[in-house]
Every structure is written in C-alpha cells, then in structure tokens.
Structure 1
Amino acid sequence: MAIRLKMVLSLLLSAAFLVSTCHGSLLLLELPSEIHPLRPRSGSSGDHVAGLSCLSWRLGVETNNLIGWKTIPQECEGYMGNYMLGEQYRSDSRVVAGEALVYAAGLDLAGDGKDVWVFDVDETTLSNLPYYAKHGFGAEPFDPTPFNEWVLEGNALVLPESLTLYQKIVSLGIKVVFLTGRTEDQRSVTETNLKNAGYYTWEKLILKTSSYSGSTAVKYKSSERGKLEKKGFRIVGNMGDQWSDLLGNSTGLRTFKLPDPMYYIS
C-alpha cells in the first residue's frame, strides 16, 4: 500500500509540475493560498490500521510524548500523506501562526533594534512537500543524499502562514533570524530560495558548521541562540516544526510549534 501511494503521488506530482510548467509558471503562483497542488482527502479522521490509530500517533508526536523515533509506523504513511497534503495540515498551521500574530502584535518593543524573532527553515518557513510527495512521508529511514540534492535545487515552497507572520514581524520592527540545521555549504541556495519565497530581509541566517558535527539539534540551536543573547539581542519569539527547535537554553520569551509528524530530530 505504501509503495502504491508513493507511485500515485509521484505521478500526480510530475503531472502537476508538467501542466504548470506548460503555462510558464508553477501552479503555486496561480493559487497563492495553496502550498502544493496535490489535495487528497484531509487525513483528519484518524485511520485505524491493525488496531493503530494514526491520528493518535500524530498527537503523540506533536505533544512530544513520542520521542526518539526513526520512522513513522508503516501503516500510517497513507494517513500522513493525506494529512500533510490536505486541508487539516494547513488549518493546524493557521492556528499556530494566528496565535503568533496576536502575540507579536501585543509585544511592548524597546525599539532599539535588539528584538529578534527566530525562525527555523525546513517545514517552518519553507515547505519541502514536493520532495516528500515523491519520496514518502516518513515510513522509510531518512536518506540525506536525495534530500540534500533537493535542497540544492532551491525549489522549496513558501509556507504561506509563516510568510504572513514574517511580514507582520518585519512591519513591527522586529528583526528576523533564520536558524537552520542546513549546513554552511547550502548558504547560497538557501538565501536565494528564501528570497524567492518572499522572505526578503533578515538580520542573520545561521547554518550549521562543522564545529557542531555530532551535536544534537537542541545543543546546536541552544548555543546559537545563546550567542545572539550575548550580543545583546532579545529573542521575543521562536518558531519551529521540531521540538528540538524550541527546547534547551535561550529559547526566547515564547515559542510556537508548527505541525510536522513526518520526522523526529533530536
């Protein structure tokens, strides 16, 4: 079933890109409210396979009660694909970004240029759904080689809810810092991809260097946030799709967790 789903999604994805390319632009540009042209059923009803509730699995992941896992249950790949490409994922993202918008608008800012908001990149400000639609939604072990090849193409899509939040934050005079697990050799393509997606300005883009080789994401991101604070910056907000984006030290005044049940990063 999982293999069949991958084949169908891959064919649909290829067809969608072919149609959009024939018109000279991606379908995304014609439908700005969509992050991806594939829209199967929502995945909100909680499929039960062999006694397993995939909705309950997703809840356990998002609440950080399920930790240290390498792959999602094989039986849940179809459910996860439906969720990530369906309306429920967008709705969940809107709730998080909407709350962040209300919070940001109510901040009493110092106005000295030292207030910053930290954003993760993958599945936070940029969406890699075309990659996962082709390679699967987390039931197979992660292979960094094809993913890095995808990153170097620079075609990750904008996550519209995050872009709206970003625009509001910039308009308030809060500086933006992107803190990503992408590596330093991916700086140029990441900068271009962010700008093409609408993220046109930022204070810093922090990528992982070799000095953090073997370190967990929590340690790496805590350290880099700590460096920001030592330079006098105040982290008023922090948003990511993984708990490792939000845990540890120097997490900021408030954190916001976007949905992402496809993989777990410690």
Structure 2
Amino acid sequence: MTALGFLYPGHSAEDDYPRIEQLLGSDIRVDLVHTDIGEDAHRVDALREMGSPERLAAGVEELRLTGAEAVVWACTSGSFVHGWDGAHEQVRTLARAAGMPASSTSFAFVHAAAELEVRRVAVGATYPDDVADLFAAFLRTGGAEVVSVRGSGVVTAAEVGGWTEAEVLELARRADHEEADAVLLPDTALHTAALIPALEKDLGKPVLTANQVTVWEALRLTDRRVNAPTLGTLFTREPVVQVPGQSGA
C-alpha cells in the first residue's frame, strides 16, 4: 500500500480525490487534509496568504498521522503566485515540516508536461487574466512554450466548484490552440476527474487538469507508476525501457 498525502485548500472539488483513488484501481491510498484558505479570492495577495507556511504547517501533523509517504500542496494558484523561486521555497519548507518529499500542483504541471514531452501548451484558467498570466509565466520558467492563455474572471473557488461538465468542456475548447500539444486546466477547485477522457476525445490531444496532475505528482514522489486510462494520457504513459546491451546515445 502506498499512502499519498494532500493539503487541500478549503472545500470545492475535494471529492475528485476519492474518485481518483477509485479510478487508480491499485494499492494506492489517498489521504486529504483541508487547510484554512482565509479569504476565498483569486487575488494575488489573498492567494499568497493562502499558501503561507503557517497555513500549510497547520495541516501537516494530521497528514503525518495518516502514514503518508509524500505530500503535495494541492493548489495551483496558491503556489505559482510566489514565483518560481518562491514556490520552490514553499515546497522546501513544506518538506521540512512534514519530514517527507513534497511538491505542489504548479510543479506537477511542469513535471507532467515534461513526462508527456509536450512543449507547446494552451492554458484554460478559471482565474482573472492577471492571475492566469502569472501561471503562464511560471510554465515558461519551467521550460514550456505557452501559445495561448484564456482567463475566465472567476473570483472565488466556491464558484468554480459549482461548474458543470458543459462549462468545463467550454473552458477547454476556448483555451485550445492549433499549435498547442496539450491543454492545461489549472484549478484544483474545478471538478475534472470524471471528465478527462471526454475532454481529450473532444480536443484530440492530452488534457492536464489540476487534481489529476496533483495525484500523479504524489505518485512520482513515491516512485510509483499506475496505468489508469480513465485518468487520461498522463496515466497511460509508459516509462522508457533501456534494452540490455544497447546504448541510449
């Protein structure tokens, strides 16, 4: 049994996590602890406070008691608003407090794009444009070429949590770009766990969503790989196998 730990801000789309646990269909346990978000606002100052060391540390002890082997701060905007260096420091602080490997959803997107070897990406964000642009800047620092960014101007996570399947599909369609190798939907308040195959079929390309990549990142931290086609292309990617006696050069 591999136990994965997540610090999730507030209450919006947390039911994606037990759903993903079921879809993994393996010896994976998903443990989720809610953190206090303070003010629910997609505004830079509020998002910085949401991801402060004090708020994250408050949930660490409870998570430690679950036996989690790795922890991911399950929030995109509450990590990338600190910038590349600040988000790294946030993760380092979390790892020290938790005593286990740690990461965040923002880095999960960067690592997942690298896993799929996609360089050109389109972003469909629920956030206001200024916050969406900060995510695009974060991705660029991580090596991605962002060919399109679409914000939606939604102010609160609570509103995002109530979006329908049709609204999520429309967001992905609006975000898509003919030059994009993949479409990214960066908000853990958005319900997407049950929608990924439909999104990928509609767009004809990989779709990376916040809660999906967050769980994948925790598996990566624990050196686990699970084949789960119902969670999209990311969960069907096979590792490169080096044939004995052959050089990779």
Q: TM-score, normalised by structure 1?
A: 0.36
Q: TM-score, normalised by structure 2?
A: 0.38
Quick check: which has more Rg, 1 or 2? 1
